[in-house]
């Protein structure tokens, strides 16, 4: 594994922009744990000649059954809900990455509840600690459910992520916070994460609080990406909550926006280096568009049983970046992988499918999950551009 140094996003932004660090974009130094629960010490600052590996996963969607499972898993502990056992199967891939990004689709309820699932979510805030201890560095928080609990829900959610040491982007408590990307370091690169959603389920964004959630607007995304580059970002990653639910093929808006974002250049250099999609609840294709990798949809990372079993399938997207040959040139993706995963039921658990099949090659359910995710991932020719299945 390539070593990296992790910084709370607020501190890194302050260093780059010369501003005072403020709450809301990072918080205390995140703790990293290995798959065995051991703490990982922060590595010394890496040299600019080192590459890094980025992992991203799909929607964390706390249905009622997920909430009940977390309550059951907390039995005998001081917490009322414990999501760590549910996420433990993701740890080998997530914790081994130099930079790991999650997508938190739902907002948090108050500490004592009530907690609710679909259609209006109020998730136990305990999931923030579980995501941090699984190994995630930053979470996108822009989704169609961002305003399920209004401004209070946004504030509760971001406060809890701060307390857990997770950077976040896509929703904000102030205009100043909205204008700061999540900036993190990995392998000598400064990586900016930006996040946007197609809408908020008909809930209007308050006119006097437009910063609460970022809505998709191509011109704004490009402007934000250029601002992040000016702030010192070597790699700009855009997380987008988009697409048509339960449809594996990208829809017209996804295809159009992907072309627009990947075509954007400042001089000879692309403005956006990677596009990561969520929302559709099913695995969607990976594709290299204009030389830039686009993941149209990673599927769900955590979800309860739904009418369509594909709702419990997803992939971890893993991209290995190499540094530029010359100062000022672009960092390059030199390896692109997808890692299929599935939610087991009773109890609900994230399963790394390739690793599970290595232990039980004849498992019919895992074989089907692998094939469905693989077929979706490569359905637009990504294998020809070097996409492979990892584990």
Q: What is the pLDDT of residue 48?
A: 60
pLDDT tier, 180 (very low <50, low <70, confident <90, very high otherwise): confident
Tens of pLDDT, residues 276-287: 999 999 999 999
> What torsion do the CA atoms of 212, 216, 219, 222 make, to the nearest 10 degrees?
80
Contact by Cβ (8 Å): 301, 58:
yes
Report if pTM > 0.95.
no
pLDDT tops 50 at residue 84: yes
Concatenate the DSSP letters of all residues of 226-251 into one string.
Answer: HHHHHTT-SEEEEEEE-S-TT-SS--
First to last CA, the chain: 14
pLDDT tier, 3 (very low <50, low <70, confident <90, very high otherwise): very low
pLDDT tier, 326 (very low <50, low <70, confident <90, very high otherwise): confident
Q: What is the pLDDT of residue 165?
A: 97
Summary mean pLDDT of the chain:
89
C-alpha–C-alpha distance, residues 63 and 149, integer Å: 16
What are 237's strand-pairing partners?
Answer: 193, 274
Q: What is the pLDDT of residue 32?
A: 39
pLDDT tops 90 at residue 193: yes
Of the candidate CATH numbers 3.60.21.10, 3.30.1330.10, 1.10.10.60, 3.10.310.10, the domain formed by 9-389 belongs to: 3.60.21.10
Tens of pLDDT, residues 38-66: 343 333 334 567 899 999 999 999 999 99
pLDDT tops 90 at residue 76: no
Q: What is the pLDDT of residue 47?
A: 53
Contact by Cβ (8 Å): 132, 82:
no
pLDDT tier, 116 (very low <50, low <70, confident <90, very high otherwise): very high
- Extents of the domains making up the chain: 9-389
What are 266's strand-pairing partners?
Answer: 269
Specify the DSSP element, H or E, that contains 134: helix 126-134
């Amino acid at each position: 594994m390539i070593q990296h140094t992790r910084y709370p996003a607020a501190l890194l932004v302050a260093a780059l922009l010369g501003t005072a660090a403020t709450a809301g974009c990072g918080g205390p130094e995140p703790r990293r744990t290995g798959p065995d629960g051991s703490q990982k010490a922060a590595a010394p600052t890496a040299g600019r000649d080192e590459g890094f590996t980025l992992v991203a996963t799909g929607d964390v969607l706390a249905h009622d059954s997920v909430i009940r499972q977390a309550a059951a898993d907390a039995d005998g502990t001081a917490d009322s809900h414990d999501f760590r056992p549910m996420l433990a199967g993701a740890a080998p891939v997530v914790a081994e990455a130099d930079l790991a990004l999650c997508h938190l689709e739902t907002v948090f309820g108050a500490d004592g509840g009530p907690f609710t699932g679909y259609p209006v979510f109020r998730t136990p805030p305990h999931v923030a600690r579980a995501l941090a201890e699984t190994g995630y560095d930053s979470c996108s928080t822009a989704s169609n459910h961002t305003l399920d609990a209004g401004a209070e829900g946004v504030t509760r959610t971001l406060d809890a992520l701060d307390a857990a040491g997770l950077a976040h982007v896509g929703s904000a408590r102030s205009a100043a916070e909205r204008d700061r990307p999540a900036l993190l370091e990995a392998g000598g690169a400064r990586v900016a994460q930006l996040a946007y959603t197609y809408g908020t389920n008909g809930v209007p964004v308050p006119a006097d609080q437009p910063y609460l959630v970022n809505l998709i607007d191509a011109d704004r995304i490009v402007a934000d990406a250029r601002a992040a580059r000016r702030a010192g970002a070597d790699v700009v990653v855009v997380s987008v909550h988009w697409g048509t639910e339960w449809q594996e093929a990208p829809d017209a808006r996804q295809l159009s926006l992907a072309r627009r974002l990947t075509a954007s250049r400042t001089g000879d250099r692309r403005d956006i280096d990677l596009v990561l999609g969520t929302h559709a609840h099913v695995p969607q294709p990976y594709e290299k568009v204009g030389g830039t990798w686009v993941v149209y949809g990673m599927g769900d990372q955590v979800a309860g049983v739904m009418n369509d079993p594909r709702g419990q399938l997803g992939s971890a997207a893993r991209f290995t970046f190499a540094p530029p040959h010359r100062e000022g040139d672009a960092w390059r993706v030199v390896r692109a992988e997808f890692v299929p995963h599935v939610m087991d039921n009773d109890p609900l658990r994230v399963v790394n499918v390739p690793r599970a099949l290595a232990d039980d090659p004849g498992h019919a359910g895992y074989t089907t999950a692998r094939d469905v995710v693989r077929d979706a991932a490569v359905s637009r020719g990504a294998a020809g551009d070097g996409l492979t299945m990892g584990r």
